[in-house]
Amino acid sequence: METKAKRYLWIFFGILLAVMVGAYLMNLMNAPQAKPLGDNQGNSSYYTVRDEAGNIVLETGIPIHVDDIWISDQDQHYQITRVEKDQAWATLTTPDNSPLKSMLDLDDTAQPALRPRGPSIPAQTPAQDIHVVIYHTHTDECFKPTSGTTSRPGDGDVYAVGKKLAETFRLNGISVTHSLNKHDPHDINAYHRSRRTANSLLSEGPDAAFDIHRDAAPARAYQTTINGIPTARVMIVMGRTNPNFKTNLNYARQVKATADSMYPGLLRGIFIGRGNYNQDLYPTALLLEIGTTGNYRLSAERAATAMGDTLIAVLRNR
């Protein structure tokens, strides 16, 4: 009888182990991938996405997969149909056949008229009880024209960009926790490591959470001018393997609509890729690519200030 009981016990633990391994592998498969290896070695490595006519519609260092979606700065929806190495092709969809149609709540993006602004200034109205958190999954990311490298493990330029965003919030009476936790190396498991940081920050009950990165696309893809001043652009990144996806998507579209009104040209668009980017943890969590490897850090910091103004407008209108 004792031998039989031991056998059942071993079977139980064997099944439990199999379930745990299966869950881990599934989580790993759904996790977003790191940017291409070339991004960390100073090489030019990025994906080029073309429409059916051969026109370039997107350049990014984020891995591209079939069924990923790109919402352009003109709110055109493209769905990736084919990927070959670093080249991809997409089909332009209409509002009626967009793969996102059932998830779009157009009323959520309605915004009052917002005038373009200059650099952020301290709030002139009483502070609201708003709190946000900022962290960095890829803590090595740098801007080559400024630092002479694209990667400095544990001490990347991306921290300075996050700091500028945090300063913009604080100047306007919004409280911020900016985490400087390191999540190196820059690999597929970086999001698993930053997930611990995100969970800790979310215990504060913030109104929003922002994971700040820089892209690995050509500089031209991210360069613009705001009020005549050279400024980097920003891309919102979302994971489609996410139970909060509909809420996240409408929040992202609200942010984009506000940015388009306040700072035309600041937002490149919204990229929706495979994985979850830890956005399954919170309905108002966004990943922001602010600038790219070929931009100067100062341009990215200016973009962070403008993005901060945008996010403040959204947070105060919620």
Position 8 confidence tier, pLDDT thresholds 50, 70, 90: low
Q: What is the pLDDT of residue 157?
A: 98
Q: What is the pLDDT of residue 208?
A: 98
Token pair of 103, please? 């998830």
Q: What is the pLDDT of residue 262?
A: 97
Token pair of 277, please? 């980017």
Instruction: Report in angstroms the alpha-carbon separations of 175 from 120, 178, 208, 282.
Output: 16, 10, 11, 18
Token pair of 42, please? 């100073």
Domains defined for the chain, CATH in brackets: 101-317 (3.40.630.40)
Q: What is the pLDDT of residue 206?
A: 98
* Per-residue pLDDT tens over the stretch 116-148: 344 444 444 445 699 999 999 999 999 999 999
* Per-residue pLDDT tens over the stretch 276-290: 999 999 999 999 999
29 pLDDT above the threshold of 50: no
Look-up: residue for tokens 């809420």? Answer: 247
Q: Which pTM does this prediction carry?
A: 0.84
* Per-residue pLDDT tens over the stretch 161-205: 999 999 999 999 999 999 999 999 999 899 999 999 999 999 999
* Among the listed residues 65, 310, 117, the one whose alpha carbon sits nearest the alpha carbon of residue 210: 310
Helices 297-317 and 158-171 cross at an angle (nearest 10°) of 40
125, 170 contact by CB (below 8 A): no
d(CA 51, CA 290): 24
Per-residue pLDDT averaged across 303-310, rounded?
98
Beta bridge partners of 69: 79, 272
Q: What is the pLDDT of residue 211?
A: 98
* Per-residue pLDDT tens over the stretch 215-272: 999 999 999 999 999 999 999 999 998 888 999 999 999 999 999 999 999 999 999 9
Token pair of 249, please? 């998507």
* Per-residue pLDDT tens over the stretch 75-129: 999 999 999 999 999 999 877 788 887 776 544 444 433 333 444 444 444 456 9
Residue 85: partners with Cβ closer than 8 Å, 6 or more residues away:
none
228, 275 contact by CB (below 8 A): no
The number of helices, as runs of H, and strands, as runs of E, in the chain is 6, 13
Q: What is the pLDDT of residue 100?
A: 86
> How confident is the prediction for the chain on average, in pLDDT?
85
Helices 245-262 and 297-317 cross at an angle (nearest 10°) of 110
* Among the listed residues 207, 200, 199, 201, the one whose alpha carbon sits nearest the alpha carbon of residue 169: 207
26 pLDDT above the threshold of 90: no
